[in-house]
Each structure stands twice: as structure tokens, then as C-alpha cells.
A and B are shown apart, each in its own frame.
Chain A
């Protein structure tokens, strides 16, 4: 099989593409991966700004959002920068929709799936390159439709990202007309994009593994993407169908979900969560795969329990189909079902626990290198543990009676999706950047970004557990309307201040990313990068000191607060500036072929990998992907193409 594909693609090796066929309508999996990356990163900015707007409203309800005062008072959404209730609901809805469907899925599945599968299994490209290109452009179409929703009259969808019917299906209930229909149409279109990607990934992995790449020599990140693709193949059509039914109800006046005409509102919830729970694993499995990939590289040690990891993922994939009802314990579905769904939900916790213990086992006895990708992988592990454990509360249908639809669940899924998926995403970007773009992102800037993000991620999302335990409902516009929540308002302020800091913390990453991609290494640009990073840290320090000195609720610090703040500001800014000045490598310098001394096949390919990936002959795999620190071998790594003493490979088991 691999021979024929090699020949088929070999013919393309010398073809010179013009601008359009190289950068726009490319058939090359690596270019399509980068396109997905750009799409995801751009949408991440949109999703993040929406989050900051509604966070502002939650901390300081019904005040002008800083930076948006210029908006005309005739605006429907934010007159003079005040957030209206409908705009608030829209912001919450679209933040989640964008982050799930247009950030995490395009980057983790679209970018890493496309980039890693062919390179890591020794294939020249995806099985269906044209389908692959279509998958990306259909995703762009979906993104355009989704973005168009912001411009139409009545505003964008405002029924929550879960779009519960009949709020979402009968326009009069929200006052949103076109927006919600475009939302459903966009999801319908995006489901096709994912479907095309899934078919491609599955076919490629089954048919195009190079010689010697047996199933149990496939790297875990590829396994995770394979399992994800199977879930996508089966789950996305359900979303597409549900979205189509929503469009029919809204546009053609059918009554699938309208109880007044004999429809069934809970049908939407069943469809949505029957898709939605596998979807949760679509979002986290690639993150688990990336963590499993990075830990052995930076521990210089084989992954602990490779097969257990694979079986755990397969178990998750199977079980993810029979747990959806745990989203519906309080929905009014027959409570007897609640018992069954609690059982299955706790069963699915077990493979996740197995994975966690295996990651810890990988650390044990390693020779750990604290690079930026490794820091992200470690953060992934510990944050995923917190997210997993908080899930136990909701899995108990009894405890869920109280904490359902509170900030506790918001804390839980942000620990999994942000703490898990997004940290894995940042780690993966930094790790594979040299192969993706031919240059290495800067480690010093990466560390500044990592620590800021790690600290403020926790400052934003940990306190949400406390809000949830206090009974704070999610998706409320103004907590001060409730007496029992007023005492907790300072926590909302801490969260919002930290969220603003978390937003600022992404700026060093933006500098790092662009400087590396475009080789901006001029002296003035380096100074600018250092200065901006230093100012951000200094400013955050100033505000933190002022808050500690004054208390949270004081808008303007007194002289004392200002003096303390200024001292902290100067100290931190100078520290960061000098740290970066000393440690920043030349930005955008060419990366070596295998900068991390990693074993897997993508590092065997030249950098940057040409069209067809591997030159005239495909690599032949002789050993597993994680044979690090093999006794008797001089280096602590060797590419998968090196033969290994079979007695040794067995001895370690």
C-alpha cells in the first residue's frame, strides 16, 4: 500500500505551485494544518474579547465597558459601552460556540490532525488531499456564516451554546431572528468539515502507515487523533441533523421541538448531548495525546503503560456514547434514567484516571527537562486532574441537583477545555513549531507567557468553584439582583481582574508567534518585545499590589496604594525586561532538524518538510515511538528508523 502511495505522490514532488495553489487552495496536509492554525488563532481573539466583555458586566454590572464607550447610544447591543441583557446572552453564547467549534476543534483536530498524522506514520500526505482542502474551506465557510451572525438585525444567537429548544427555535422568545438561524446553519456546515476531516484521518491511518509502523508503534498522539476522528465521524452527523431540524423549526415552521404543536423540547437536549458528550472527548482526547507525546520526550523515558493508554482511549471512545444523560439529570427526563447515567459516567472516569496515573508513572525515574512545551504538558496533567475530580461532583446525580447550572460546572469544563485542551494546544504549538514553520519559538518569551497564563488561568477559574458552591447560577446578567449572591461579588471582581490579566498574558505569545514566523529580529523589535512583556507584568503587579493594599472594591487607589504599586511595577518590569534581554535567542532563526532529540518520524523528515514529506524513499520503522534512554545505546534517543536489540525492547515491559 505504502509503495503505491509513494509513487502516486512522488510525481508531485517537483511541481512548483503558484501563490494560490501553495498558500490558499493547497492540497498539502502541512499547509492545510497551518491554515487551520491561523483560523483557530484568529477566532480565539474574537472568543476571548467576548469573554472579557461579559466578565466586565459580571464584576461591575451595568457600567460602561472600558474601551467601548465610543459606541453610539442607538446600538442595540452595547449602547455607549453598556452591556444590554440580550447582548450579554449573545456574548456568552458566542464565546462558547466560537471557542468550541472554531478554536479548539480547528487547532487540536484540524491543525494537529493534519500536520501530525501523515508525518508521524510515514505517509506522504493524507489519503484524500482534495477532500482535505475542502474540509478546510468548508470550515472557513462555516466561520464566515458564524461571523455574519454578528451583523444581522436582532443580533447573534443568544440561547446559550447548547441552544436549548424552544428558546432557540421560536424567535419571539429571544427576539433573535436571523442570528440564531445562521448559528444553526454554521454548525450544519461545520459538521461537514469535521466529517470530511474524520474520513480522511481514519483512511490515512488505516491504509498509509509506512513499513514497520504496526498499530502498537503508532505514537499516542496519532492514536488520540484516530479515536477523535472515529468520534467525529459518528457524532458530527447528529449535530448536523439537530441543527437542520432547528433550521426547519425556525424557517419552515415545522414543530420538532415546539410543545405547543406536539413537539418535544427534550428531544433537542437528547440530540445535542448525544452529540455533545462525544464532542467533549473530541475536545480533550487530542490534548491527552499531545501530553502523552511530550512527556516521554522531555522525560527522556518511554511512556509508562503505552498499551494501557491506548486501551484507555478506546474505552473512553466507547463509553462516551452512553453518558450523555448526565447533562440532563435535572432536565425532567425520567429520573430512573439518572441512576443508569450516573453509573456509566463514573465508569468513564476510570480510563481517565488510568491515563493520569500513567502520566505520573512516566515522570517517575525520568530525566525531566523543563522546556516550554514540557511546562504546558505538566500543566495539562495537573489541571486535567482538577477538572476530572470536579466532575465527580456533577456525576453524582444527587449533588448535581444543587450544583447543576451553577458556576461549579463552568469551573469544571474550563479546567478541562482551557486547562486541558488549550494548554496542550500551546504546548503542541511550541513543540512542533520547528517542523511546522522551520524555526523555533523563543523559550524565554514562552516561559513568560506560560507562567502568566498558568497563574491567571487558575485565578480566573478556581474561584468559580466557590461561586458555584455558593449557588451562583451561570448565564445570569447581574448577580447583584440576588440577595444570596451579593456577599460573593468580590469573587466576581477577582475573577474579572484576573481574566483581564489572562487576556494581557497572551500578548507575549502573539509577539513570539509572529516574530518567529516572519523572522522579525531587528534590534528595535526585540526591545519592543521585551518592553511590552515587561510592562504587562509590571502593570499586573501594580494592580495586584493596589488591590492587596486597598481592597477590591476601590476603583482608584490612594497614595499609599499607588506607591506600593509603583514599587512592585518597577521591580517586576525591570526583572522581566532583563530576563528577556539576557535569555531571548535570535527570533526566527532556522531550527535544527530535530531540536528536541525526539524519536518519532516527523523529526526524521527534513525541515521544513517538502511536499511528499520524506524525500525519495519512505522511512522504515524498526522500533516503538518512545524508546528513550535505551541501555547500551550511546544517545538517550534514536529515531524510530533505527533497529533496536529486540531483547532490550522486551525487557522493559
Chain B
């Protein structure tokens, strides 16, 4: 099952994958135990002539055991998850290396890059449809905005997903770790064009990123 995960290309994705594996092993072990017990009981206690069922109403020690043990396991799981959650969702980076603004609009991702002034909404902004260019190994902070309906910004290879809500600006941050071209599907039903609402996520090497910026702004000024 794990081999079905697409390749992970972000630092944050490692945390998510780690917890995914924990859940996976935990649930597989529980399932195998329950299924084995069930199959064993079904074979062993199938109706046989002359054999009566045991007359018993339960066992309080067992009830306590199978309440307390799952509770403890789940408690550990909650605590493990919450440290990651705080890191991924609550600690908004103050000095991200790259900032962009992405607006979901039926059925496109509109990506706004600040110019050299590093400010949004000024003249030197660059706006591209469905193309997010970033440098590798640098922290990226995206401000997600919506204009019409709810969309969901999803980059499967980075494991990142965040709904885009009209009327709000929602931060999303991560650090891509591998150069390449990936996809940015929309993950929340947003109308008849939902399927195919797909952007490009291009992770450049640092040198290529500088080159891309130069070229992109040059083209824009033409």
C-alpha cells in the first residue's frame, strides 16, 4: 500500500508520511489480530451436534482492558500528531524565503509573484495562470485567496492541501526538496470544470530559478 504514495518532495511531507506509516502499521496489526480471532472463532465454534454454547454474559476485566488499552494507544497517537500539526499549521513562518499569492478562480490557479520590492499589489508584480515557480530547498509561503467558490489547493507530491475560501486569506507553507515538474490539482468540487483544474508546480534549482525570474520579468515588461 505504501508504495502507492507518490514520491514525496517536501520537508513537511516527511512528517505527514511518517504519521501515515504509523497509522498504517497500527491499523494493519489491529486488523490482522481481529480478523484472525474472528476466523479462529468461526471455525472453532461452528455449530456441532450435541455441543451447547457457553452461557456467559461478559467479563468486566476484559471490558476494562479493551477500553483502557485502545485509549492509551490513541492518546499516544494524538500527542504525536499534535506536535506535527502545530509545526505544519500553527507556526506561520515570519521570514519565508519565497512568497507568492495564489487565487483560486473557476477553473484556474492565478499565481501572483512579487517583484524585487517583495510586495504584493505593486506594479512590478508578475501574474501567471496555473504556473507556480519556486526554488528548491527554500521555504515557500503561499497566501491562498478565493474569489468565487471554495477550491482546494493540492500538490500531491508535497502532501500539501489547503482549502481556498472566498473572502479569506489562508497561509500555506512548505519547503520543496527536489527539482522537477509536478501538478496542482483542485481537490474540492468547484463546478463543471473542477476536473482538469490543474496547475504546474515547477521546482527549479537555485540557478535556474534566478534565470527564470529574469526571463519572466523581461517577458512581462515587453
Residues of B within 8 A of A381 (CB): 38
Assess the B82–A301 pair: CB atoms within 8 A. Answer: no
Which of chain B's residues has its CB closest to A353's CB?
Answer: B70
Q: Name A350's contact: one of B70, B84, B163 (CB within 8 Å).
A: B70
User: Is the C-beta of B63 less than 8 angstroms from some C-beta in chain A?
Assistant: yes
What is the bound-complex CA distance between A404 and B154, given in angstroms?
10
Assess the B38–A166 pair: CB atoms within 8 A. Answer: no
User: Is the C-beta of A24 less than 8 angstroms from some C-beta in chain B?
Assistant: no
Assess the B46–A349 pair: CB atoms within 8 A. Answer: no
User: Is the C-beta of B128 less than 8 angstroms from some C-beta in chain A?
Assistant: no
Assess the A85–B189 pair: CB atoms within 8 A. Answer: no
User: Is the C-beta of A399 less than 8 angstroms from some C-beta in chain B?
Assistant: yes
- Interface positions, chain A 160-188, Cβ under 8 Å from B, are 160, 164, 166-167, 170, 173-175
Known: A174-B191, A405-B161. A471 touches B85 (CB 8 A): no
Q: Name B45's contact: one of A365, A648, A653 (CB within 8 Å).
A: A365
Assess the B42–A378 pair: CB atoms within 8 A. Answer: yes
Assess the A89–B57 pair: CB atoms within 8 A. Answer: no
Residues of B within 8 A of A346 (CB): 74-75, 77-78
- Interface positions, chain B 38-76, Cβ under 8 Å from A, are 38, 41-42, 45-48, 51-59, 62-63, 66-67, 70-71, 74-75
Known: A350-B70, A402-B20, A477-B195. A173 touches B149 (CB 8 A): yes
Residues of B within 8 A of A259 (CB): 146, 165-167
Q: How close is A78's CB to chain B, nearest CB, in angstroms?
A: 14
Residue in A354, A366, A652 with the greatest tally of chain B CB atoms within 10 Å: A366
User: Is the C-beta of A266 less than 8 angstroms from some C-beta in chain B?
Assistant: yes
User: Is the C-beta of B118 less than 8 angstroms from some C-beta in chain A?
Assistant: no
Which of chain A's residues has its CB closest to B157's CB?
Answer: A484
Q: How close is B52's CB to chain A, nearest CB, in angstroms?
A: 5
Assess the B159–A331 pair: CB atoms within 8 A. Answer: no
Residues of A within 8 A of B24 (CB): 393
Q: Name A367's contact: one of B23, B37, B51, B88 (CB within 8 Å).
A: B51
Residues of A within 8 A of B13 (CB): 402
Count B-side interface residues using an 8 Å CB cutoff. Answer: 88
Assess the A470–B55 pair: CB atoms within 8 A. Answer: no
Residue in B26, B38, B48, B51 with the greatest tally of chain A CB atoms within 10 Å: B38
Assess the B183–A397 pair: CB atoms within 8 A. Answer: no
Known: A85-B192, A401-B160, A484-B183. A301 touches B58 (CB 8 A): no
Q: How close is B105's CB to chain A, nearest CB, in angstroms?
A: 11
Residues of A within 8 A of B85 (CB): 335, 338-339, 342, 397-398
1/0 per residue A294-315: CB within 8 Å of B?
0000011111111110000000
Residues of A within 8 A of B218 (CB): none
User: Is the C-beta of B124 less than 8 angstroms from some C-beta in chain A?
Assistant: no
Known: A342-B81, A398-B16, A473-B185. A363 touches B45 (CB 8 A): yes
Q: How many A-B residue pairs have CB under 8 A?
A: 282
Residues of B within 8 A of A130 (CB): none
Q: How close is B169's CB to chain A, nearest CB, in angstroms?
A: 10
Residues of A within 8 A of B37 (CB): 360
Which of chain A's residues has its CB closest to B62's CB?
Answer: A361
Known: A353-B70, A399-B23, A481-B196. A473 touches B154 (CB 8 A): yes
User: Is the C-beta of A521 less than 8 angstroms from some C-beta in chain B?
Assistant: no
* Interface-lining segment among A192-200, A451-459, A558-566, A623-631: A623-631
Residues of B within 8 A of A159 (CB): 189
Known: A173-B191, A398-B19. A350 touches B81 (CB 8 A): no
Assess the A349–B70 pair: CB atoms within 8 A. Answer: yes
Residues of B within 8 A of A265 (CB): 150, 165-167
Known: A470-B6, A636-B52. A164 touches B150 (CB 8 A): yes
User: Is the C-beta of A64 less than 8 angstroms from some C-beta in chain B?
Assistant: no
- Interface positions, chain B 162-205, Cβ under 8 Å from A, are 162-168, 170, 182-183, 185-196, 198
Q: Name B159's contact: one of A158, A260, A401, A484 (CB within 8 Å).
A: A401
Known: A173-B149, A357-B62, A477-B195. A389 touches B31 (CB 8 A): yes
Known: A332-B163, A361-B58, A393-B27. A299 touches B1 (CB 8 A): no
What is the bound-complex CA distance between A506 and B204, given in angstroms?
54
User: Is the C-beta of A370 less than 8 angstroms from some C-beta in chain B?
Assistant: yes
Assess the B19–A399 pair: CB atoms within 8 A. Answer: yes
Count A-side interface residues using an 8 Å CB cutoff. Answer: 100
Residues of B within 8 A of A385 (CB): 31, 34-35
Q: Name A339's contact: one of B38, B56, B66, B82 (CB within 8 Å).
A: B82
Assess the B42–A404 pair: CB atoms within 8 A. Answer: no
Assess the B188–A405 pair: CB atoms within 8 A. Answer: yes
Known: A398-B15, A473-B154, A484-B183. A465 touches B53 (CB 8 A): no
What is the bound-complex CA distance between A387 and B28, given in angstroms?
12
What is the bound-complex CA distance between A358 and B60, given in angstroms?
11
Residues of A within 8 A of B86 (CB): 339
Residues of A within 8 A of B167 (CB): 259-260, 264-265
User: Is the C-beta of A368 less than 8 angstroms from some C-beta in chain B?
Assistant: yes
Residue in B4, B88, B90 with the greatest tally of chain A CB atoms within 10 Å: B4
Residues of B within 8 A of A481 (CB): 195-196, 198
Q: How close is A578's CB to chain B, nearest CB, in angstroms?
A: 25
Assess the B189–A160 pair: CB atoms within 8 A. Answer: yes
What is the bound-complex CA distance between A652 and B54, given in angstroms?
9
Assess the A365–B54 pair: CB atoms within 8 A. Answer: yes
Which of chain B's residues has its CB closest to A391's CB?
Answer: B27
Assess the B89–A338 pair: CB atoms within 8 A. Answer: yes
Which of chain B's residues has its CB closest to A57's CB?
Answer: B195
User: Is the C-beta of B152 less than 8 angstroms from some C-beta in chain A?
Assistant: yes
Assess the B191–A405 pair: CB atoms within 8 A. Answer: no
Residues of B within 8 A of A357 (CB): 62, 66
Q: Name A396's contact: one of B19, B48, B146, B165 (CB within 8 Å).
A: B19
Q: How close is A304's CB to chain B, nearest CB, in angstroms?
A: 5
Assess the B53–A389 pair: CB atoms within 8 A. Answer: no
User: Is the C-beta of A478 less than 8 angstroms from some C-beta in chain B?
Assistant: yes
- Interface positions, chain A 376-402, Cβ under 8 Å from B, are 378, 381-382, 385-386, 389-390, 392-393, 396-399, 401-402
Q: Name B53's contact: one of A473, A476, A636 (CB within 8 Å).
A: A636
What is the bound-complex CA distance between A160 and B5, given in angstroms?
26
Residues of A within 8 A of B56 (CB): 301-302, 304, 365, 652
Residues of B within 8 A of A631 (CB): 55
Residues of A within 8 A of B170 (CB): 332
Residues of B within 8 A of A330 (CB): 152, 161-163
Residues of B within 8 A of A158 (CB): 192
User: Is the C-beta of A35 less than 8 angstroms from some C-beta in chain B?
Assistant: no
Residues of B within 8 A of A174 (CB): 191-192
Interface pairs (30), CB distance under 8 Å:
A160-B189, A164-B188, A166-B150, A166-B166, A300-B53, A305-B58, A330-B152, A330-B161, A332-B170, A347-B74, A353-B66, A360-B34, A364-B45, A364-B54, A365-B53, A367-B51, A381-B38, A385-B35, A392-B23, A396-B77, A398-B19, A402-B156, A465-B1, A469-B1, A471-B5, A473-B154, A478-B196, A482-B198, A484-B183, A652-B56
Given A170-B149, A350-B67, 17 more A-B residue pairs with CB atoms under 8 Å apart are A85-B192, A89-B189, A173-B148, A335-B90, A339-B86, A343-B78, A361-B62, A363-B41, A365-B56, A366-B54, A368-B41, A378-B42, A382-B34, A389-B30, A402-B159, A629-B52, A629-B53
Residues of chain A touching chain B, judged by Cβ–Cβ distance below 8 Å, are 84-86, 88-89, 158-160, 164, 166-167, 170, 173-175, 259-260, 264-266, 299-308, 330-332, 335-336, 338-339, 342-343, 346-347, 349-350, 353-354, 356-358, 360-361, 363-370, 378, 381-382, 385-386, 389-390, 392-393, 396-399, 401-406, 465-466, 469-471, 473, 475-478, 481-484, 488, 628-631, 636, 648, 652-653
